[in-house]
Structure 1
């Protein structure tokens, strides 16, 4: 008997797809250059807000969106890689490998946004954190943002997409549908993520605060302390 369980709450799903769209737009605007860099900057602040929201939601969000639900020990990760894991437990939310991918992507995105805020291309953009840093640190941040970070992110995203394809084509597991509907079909009942009006209102408040944070950061170069 299959059990339908709400795994991904609506705020998590909206975050996921907005993040994906913002990432694609950021890459495209960076490659186009010129006037598109204005949008690259704006999208960078959007990304900052999204990441701030996800960090907060990882503490208070739905059960399976919380970081505590997908922090695995090295031993458990190794058992999963060897095919010795417990599917009914390890594959409810983020699997051990999926969790590794999520944390890796979040860390790389945070580094990319932070380096962008501290970058200065000496042509059309000066990040709002530049005035607080030495020239050496600004140079390092600019170098990382343009020459390292973007390619690291592209590699991690490619691995993420390959993993999705592997699970869908080889293991015959539906990865994308639950991130659209929020529900998973599971062989055993598990606690569901809370996804009611109260939870969504909390998410809306956190999203607003994250947006205010991004706006405040954007104003730092204009003396917005």
Structure 2
């Protein structure tokens, strides 16, 4: 076969957009909190809330590589996957590998905790608080704030592990994971021994996921 091999869609545009917006937002959230720009921090936090909510919905109704059920099913193959890595028998996986599944779930859980605690947090003087803090007492709001601060350290550690894993795949396994997350596509020759599932976007589901995430974000932003 001459020329470039046929390329197939692995990551839909919604997954890629959410991924890279999160990459931008996490350091912005850290910086605005550190510098005391709390109005910006709240705005970025609500944006992150909408994106994480969309990702959770899309994980239920989205494309095959976005959905959580196939990811959970892959966890069972983790021992054999690790054995192949040790034996230098690595082969690209269509979608998330078993290790990547664990990373995705850990990061989404940490982000969910971070956002939830931020929504209910109350600062020391009670002036800069989350939009849902009126639903809890001052003491409970302060507990949420403490968890919010501690959990960010955990989130930062998980992000560090994620970046380290990408570097190992790139320089040890010679696997470029960043490029497909930019273009969404990989050569079909990477998956010659794998039966590929249908992986197309259904527009009605996409519209529903966006609408629900946006409506919930606006409702939280305007609460009270």
TM-score (ref. length: structure 1): 0.86
Equivalent in the alignment of 2:83: 82
Partner of 2:182: 180
The answer as to 2:67 corresponding to 1:61 is no
Q: Which 10-residue stretch deviates more, 61-70 or 39-48?
A: 61-70
- 8 A contact 1:26–1:40 mirrored in 2: yes
Separation in 1, partners of 2:57, 2:13: 15
Q: What residue ranges of structure 1 are gaps of 5+ in the alignment?
A: none
Please give the per-residue CA displacement for 1:174-203, whole angstroms capped at 9, x wherever unaligned.
1011111111121416235204xxx35642
Structure 1 pair 192–175 and aligned structure 2 pair: CA distance change class (3 A): farther
What secondary structure sits across from 1:125 in the alignment? coil
Q: Is the aligned partner of 1:194 residue 2:200?
A: yes
Query: Which of 153, 160, 163 is the matching residue for 1:161?
Result: 163
Q: What SS class does the counterpart of residue 184 from structure 1 fall into?
A: strand
- Paired residues in the alignment total 214
Residue number in structure 1 paired with 2:214: 211
In structure 2, runs of 5+ residues without a counterpart are none
> Would the alpha carbon gap of residues 72 and 81 (structure 1) be closer, same or farther in structure 2, given more than 3 Å must change?
farther
CA contact (8 A) 2:48 2:115 kept: yes
Q: TM-score normalised to the size of structure 2?
A: 0.86
Aligned equivalents of 2:74, 2:204: Cα separation in 1? 33
Match of 2:133 among 117, 130, 154: 130
Q: Secondary structure at the match of 1:5?
A: strand
CA contact 1:108–1:153 (8 Å) conserved in 2:
yes
Distance 2:85 2:76 in 1: 11
Task: Answer yes or no: is 1:4 the counterpart of 2:11.
Answer: no
Kept in 2, the 8 Å contact 1:57–1:66? The answer is: yes
Deviations 1:77-111 (A, max 9, x none): 222223279855x7211111111000000000000
Contact 2:65/2:199 (8 A) holds in 1: yes
